[in-house]
Every structure is written in C-alpha cells, then in structure tokens.
C-alpha cells in the first residue's frame, strides 16, 4: 500500500519505491531502505508528510510519499 494512506501514529515497514534509481538513491541516503520501520508522524491533506526513520524526522512531499510502498 502507498505510504500516503497510513494514518499518523502507525508504524509500517518500507517495502519498495515506484521510481527511478535517482529517487531510490535519494531515499536510501535518508535511511529509507527495504525492511526499515517507518512511523508516520503527520499525514494530512494540507502541509508536509512527516515520518520518523531510525530516530530521525523526515519531511516528504505527498508526491514522494505516494511512491513509497509499505506493509
């Protein structure tokens, strides 16, 4: 399922990303690699999408978050 449908407060596991190698590399540099646990801190229709990965907060645009597949 895409990360954008996960409610704030839930934890999920990163599975894949529907994007090219450049975008995948950018996510990997932020710690978003297959198998890592993600906590959704903020998911609203307005404003940024905020997640926590390995103790760091990451702010994503909704378009970016839509391409991230989790379980």
Q: For 4-29, how does the pLDDT look when each residue is reduced to its tens digit (9 = 90+)? A: 999 999 999 999 999 888 989 999 99
* pLDDT one-digit tens code per residue, 50-63: 999 999 999 999 99
29's tokens: 């540099």
Q: What is the pLDDT of residue 29?
A: 92
Asked whether the beta carbons of 50 and 58 are under 8 A apart, the reply is yes
Cα 26 to Cα 2, 6, 14, 23, distances in angstroms: 18, 22, 15, 5
Name residue, tokens 């190698």. 21
Q: Which of the listed CATH numbers 2.30.30.90, 2.160.10.10, 1.10.600.10, 3.40.50.20 matches domain 3-70?
A: 2.30.30.90
The whole-model pTM stands at 0.89
Please check whether residue 59 is in contact with residue 65, taking contact to mean a CB–CB distance below 8 angstroms.
no
Residue 25, SS3 per DSSP: helix
């Amino acid at each position: 399922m895409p990360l954008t449908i996960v409610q704030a407060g839930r934890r999920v596991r990163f599975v894949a990303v529907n994007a090219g190698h450049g975008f995948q590399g950018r996510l990997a540099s932020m710690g978003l690699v297959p198998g890592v646990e993600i906590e959704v801190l903020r998911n609203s229709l307005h404003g940024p999408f905020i997640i926590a990965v390995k103790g760091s907060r990451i702010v994503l645009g909704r378009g970016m978050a839509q391409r991230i597949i989790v379980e």
